[in-house]
Amino acid sequence: MDFENKTALITGAASGMGYLTGKCFVREGGNAVLTDINPETLEKAVSSLNEIRSGSAVGVVCDVRDYAQVCNARDCAVEAFGSIDLLVTMAGGAETRIKNAHGEFPDIPIDVYDWGLDVNLKGQFYFDHAVAKQMREQKSGVIINIGSITGEEGSPDAVAYSASKSAAMNGLVKSVAQFGMPHGIRCCCVAPGPVLTRPGMANMKTLMGRAAQPQEIVDLILYLASDKGAFITGTTFLIDGGRNIMFNKL
């Protein structure tokens, strides 16, 4: 998978799978624009990628809930490298876990759910909208949105996360793919099951009896972004070790 002279814009990229995506993209000859809300962690991530190849990465502090900041990240990417060939919207997470909110659905404060919808749905929508303008001018580009097995299963507490990662994401991807095809733009969704980005994921059951390694998810993203995936658009790929077909997941 040759990404020489190609540029990837990746959200939530200071750590985890976002960072790993950028690292792999740079190793395959591309440039990476990392965005994250945490400036200190972001600076370290960018420095690490530039150690692989000097000048291959830049960082932009960005809150995905703020459309002006999203547009600024897009503009910084184009200014730095001239194009955006791949967008990966990795920023997100279950609102009840991240906000440390516990209780039944009606008892969890609505601002927790607002945060979940803003980050997991609107954040991806904002980046798709902003970057599509650049890709339309280029007449090329690949957009990879990130779903989740939770979108298939539902969740009794992380309701906003589940709603964002299910039909909403499926509709977004199909719609952007339909818009994009006349302009040479493809759009897909990668929806992981449990991934070993944190210890708790190892406790989630799968048909294969294990959680995924982060590299396994990133490999699928890079395949879809490459010329090998050139005939793929408008599709959600569930990569969950068979969790979704298990009869008893609890």
CA 102/CA 105 separation, integer angstroms: 9
212 secondary structure, DSSP code? B
H-helix or E-strand containing 180? helix 167-180
Q: How far apart are the first and last CA of the chain?
A: 38
Which candidate, 207, 209, 225, places its Cα nearest to that of 217? 225
Which candidate, 126, 117, 114, places its Cα nearest to that of 163? 117
Q: Which residues are catalytic?
A: 161
**Residue 123: how many CB atoms within 10 A of its CB?**
24
For 215, counting Cβ atoms within 10 Å of its Cβ (0-12 exposed, 13-18 middle, 19+ buried), the class is middle
Angle formed at CA 208 by CA 206 and CA 210, multiple of 5 degrees: 65
